[in-house]
Amino acid sequence: MTDMRLPLYQRLRDDMLARIAAGDWAPGTAIPTEAELTKYYGVAVGTLRRAVETLVQDGLMERSQGRGTFIRRPNFDGSLFRFFRHVDSQGERRVPTGRVMVRHEESAGRRVADALGLEEGASVVYLERVRQIDGQTIFHEQIWLDTRRFAPLLTVDPADFGNLLYPFYEQQCGQLIGAAEETLSVATASQAMADRLSIDPGQPVIVIERIAKGYDATPLEFRRSTGDAGPFRYRVDIT
């Protein structure tokens, strides 16, 4: 329910996000014109523009000169590889493919429940996926999703998931991912993880935990990606 104590442009912004999350406005498409929206909401054009500007600044919408304002579809898959460098013999960058190995329903532990905003023990869909280059596993991924939102995935053959999961979530479950937060840490490989990554037990690994959210900020996916620390690189520009 909208908090009526919020400024009008913020309430307008929240309503727009709710419409995107509900699928009324699809990612990649233009939102209605200013004239249409001011008439629909009964607000001044300045209020509307301020609401849209906050969404543009947050990276959820983007303007195209002469074409309008569009719902932005973020490229989350590329974010994982800004810290890792995998190249072939010619020095060309390689992006791993994805393959779902395990898919079942289970009860959420405390960490998963907290990440997804659920009660401990709630039903979640669990996916286990490997990212590979030329058959070699580069990353091992564990993914948890609220069963109430993602139950259709339990009836899909794991071989049919494809390489990109977020468009698949949208297609199969009507769930749109609009933002994410990631936490990076360093650990040592257990025997099981070492076997999966073809490295030695105790070798350093990078762990990236991601909470992916809908356009309305509802947590939709909790993902843990683990990879060999060898190809890990960190760069930051300080000015």
Q: Show the tokens assigned to 133.
A: 């280059």
Contact 95, 84 (CB under 8 A): no
Confidence category of residue 34, pLDDT binned at 50, 70, 90: very high
pLDDT digits (tens, 9 = 90+) for 37-59: 999 999 999 999 999 999 998 88
Is this prediction's pTM over 0.75?
Answer: yes
Q: Show the tokens assigned to 19.
A: 């419409």
DSSP three-state, residue 152? helix
Contact 197, 167 (CB under 8 A): no
Which residue ranges form the domains of the chain, and what is each CATH number?
Answer: 8-71 (1.10.10.10), 76-228 (3.40.1410.10)
Alpha-carbon distance of 210 to 177, in angstroms, equals: 12
Question: What's the pLDDT score for residue 2?
Answer: 61
Task: Report CA Rg, the chain.
Answer: 20
* pLDDT over threshold 90, residue 238: no
